[in-house]
Chains A and B, each alone.
Chain A
Amino acid sequence: MSTTANLTCILCPMSCNLELVLDGNRVVQVSGNSCKLGPAYAEKEFINPTRVLTTTVKIEGARVSRLPVKTDGEIPKSILFDCMRELSEVKMKAPVKNGEIILKNVAGTGVNVVATRSLT
């Protein structure tokens, strides 16, 4: 039996309201999108939602006390807090360059965490 679900597409500020027709765990049809990225987003968001995590880690020897970082790829939404826990253990020392790897393979995702600011 088919059911429906609604999702707001967040790929751009258009924020299209996507309507999904589902068959069990499968997305059969998507409507409401205004560009071709919509259906792929809906399918991914329904089956395996992922996010880029942005947060900060401790840094010493810089003018400020936090270094902003991000995952350099998307990670499953369900493990954001596991990543936060791992990153709370990280302590960096200045200088750090924007793009430098801060933590490899965070929470076993295969995704690295990189610095998003150069601090000296």
Chain B
Amino acid sequence: MAAAVAAKRSGVKRVLILERDHDLGGILPQCIHDGFGTFVMKERLTGPEYAERYKAMTAESGVECLLNTTVLEIGHDRSILAVNPSQGLLEIKAQAVILAMGCRERTRFQILIPGTRPAGVFTAGAVQRLVNIEGFLPGHRAVILGSGDIGLIMARRLKLEGVEVVGVFEIMPQPNGLTRNVVQCLQDFQIPLFLEHTITMIHGKKRVEGVTVSRVDRERKPIPGSQRFVACDTVVLSVGLIPENELSEKAGIVIDQSTGGPMVDEQMETSVPGIFGCGNVINVYDLVDYVAYTGETAGKGAARFITGQLPGRNPVQVTTGPGVRLVVPQQITPLRVTETVNLYQRVEEAGSNVRIVVKNGDEVIASRRERAVKPPEMVTVKIPPEKLKSISEGQVIQVEVETKGGPV
């Protein structure tokens, strides 16, 4: 919606949203907790409220929508094949396409938990939908695997609804979600967090009867003899999100292995000209505001593409240096830059009193000091457009983490 509104406001005559669900907003309507929009809206909203704000803007700006519509294919030539119950098969020829499919949860079968296959193993998002939309509780006694944000939020949610939450088990030595969620969701409700622990077996015939949990060593391998049985009837998985790119891959779009999403440039344009992307389909962001910002960038970029105002690409690569796990965008064409470019990055490991620096050769073109950085919390660095003017073809922009004693 952010992308559609931005495209429309930038002068694109017709903008169409193709939505698989019966309502706009994606996952937001089931994210009933608050804390959304502290940057964009300057207030703390719940997910449904945030979605409604954008729905109002979408309607007001004259963006068209097709609900209950599933896109089957996106062509290299920006043709779209979609289907819905009222119109059947639809062929749409677009001048520009913006991908906004979001991400998917990893399931039990992507992390290979041994054991039987009883009912009662859910992803956190599925539990969220059951509880917040459909009105069912998944069970009576739950174990949560993984400390991703949705897992932490569902730990609190289940506890509030009267479910006994035995604990959150996290394989890593530090929590995987935002600190505020660890505080507000676990500490507030005395839900224990077991770091360096994982589930090594699921037990039960028809329904989950319990899990075996083990401590893990530094290589994340279970430590023999550390296992214990924990009785429960529900296992909630919060073990990571993956950008949803089945359509993008079929369209021949280049995927970045570190983000799991399409490689994009400063306009959020993918490797295929005229196909843009925004939000979690590009990279899993931790704040909805970042998703909205990238949508705005993509919408404006698509508008410039359609109106022929976007110069050809002549990209400089943006690479990850010491201490940086991933960066978006991965390319910048200096000639196309008219506004501040936001670089989003995730650090490799936690650190304090660091400086995130963006370098072109030895020259620092942008930097940001942080008292503390953690892998689950993205850091953004703004590059002013004038700093990019002098960069020419073949040069490389590198992002790195500098601690007081120099690079990590």
Contact with B along A50-62 (1 / 0, CB 8 A): 0110111010000
Of B38, B46, B160, B371, which is within 8 A of A68 by CB? B46
* Interface residue ranges of A70-101 to B (CB < 8 Å): 70, 77, 80-81, 84, 98
For A116, give its contact among B48, B133, B287 (CB under 8 Å).
B48
Please measure, in the bound complex, the distance between the C-alpha atom of A58 and the C-alpha atom of B135, giving whole angstroms: 8
A13 cross-chain contacts in B, Cβ below 8 A: 178-180, 286-287, 377
Task: Check B52 against A118 for contact (C-beta < 8 Å).
Answer: yes
Distance between Cα atoms of A12 and B35 in the complex (Å): 9
Question: In the complex, what residues of B have CB within 8 A of residue A81's CB?
Answer: 160
Chain B CB within 10 Å, residue with most, of A54, A56, A68, A116:
A54
CA distance A98 to B33 in the complex (A): 15
Of B32, B371, B372, the residue contacting A54 (CB under 8 A) is: B32
Distance (whole angstroms) from the CB of B211 to the closest CB of chain A: 27
B113-136: which have CB < 8 Å to A? 131-135
- What per-residue 1/0 map shows which CB atoms of B360-373 lie under 8 Å from chain A? 00000000000110
B48, A117: Cβ atoms closer than 8 Å = yes
A8-B179, A116-B46 known; A70 and B52 CB under 8 Å?
A: no
Decide yes or no whether A65 CB sits under 8 A from chain B.
yes
Interface contact A16-B371, CB-CB below 8 Å: yes
Asked whether A14 is an interface residue with its Cβ less than 8 Å from the other chain, the reply is: yes
Q: In whole angstroms, what is the CA distance A111 to B49 when docked? A: 19
For this complex, into which size category does the number of interface residues on chain B fall?
A: 20 to 34
Q: Does B228 contact A (CB under 8 A)?
A: no
Judging by beta carbons under 8 Å apart, are A51 and B377 in contact? no
- Docked pose: A56 CA to B161 CA in angstroms: 10
Q: For window 257-272 of chain B, which residues contact chain A by CB distance below 8 Å?
A: none
- Complex interface: chain A residues within 8 A of B29 (CB): 68, 117
- Which one of B22, B32, B183, B286 has the highest number of Cβ atoms from chain A below 10 Å of its Cβ? B32
Is A15 engaged at the interface, CB distance under 8 Å to the other chain? yes
Query: Is the Cβ of B49 less than 8 Å from the Cβ of A117?
Result: yes
A3 nearest CB across to chain B (Å):
19
For residue B33, which residues in chain A have a CB less than 8 angstroms away from its CB?
54
- Chain A CB within 8 A of B44 CB: yes
Q: Note all chain A residues with C-beta closer than 8 A to B133.
A: 64-66
Judge whether A5 is part of the interface by a CB distance below 8 angstroms. Answer: no
Contact B135 A65 (CB under 8 A): yes
User: In the bound complex, what is the Cα–Cα distance between A8 and B180 (angstroms)?
Assistant: 8
Cβ of B274 to closest chain A Cβ, rounded Å? 34
Cβ-based interface call for B188 (8 A): yes
Asked if B377 contacts A84 (CB within 8 A), the reply is no
Q: Which residues of A contact B32 (CB under 8 A)?
A: 54-56, 68, 70, 116
**In-complex Cβ contact of B49 among A12, A66, A116 (8 A):** A116
- Distance from A71 Cβ to chain B, minimum over Cβ atoms (Å): 10
Does any Cβ of B come within 8 Å of A105's Cβ? no
> How far is B286's CA from A77's CA once the two chains are assembled, in angstroms?
26
**21 pairs across A/B with beta carbons < 8 Å?**
A8-B180, A8-B182, A8-B183, A10-B180, A13-B286, A14-B372, A15-B178, A15-B180, A34-B371, A52-B34, A54-B34, A65-B134, A68-B32, A68-B47, A68-B48, A70-B32, A70-B46, A98-B49, A98-B52, A116-B46, A116-B49
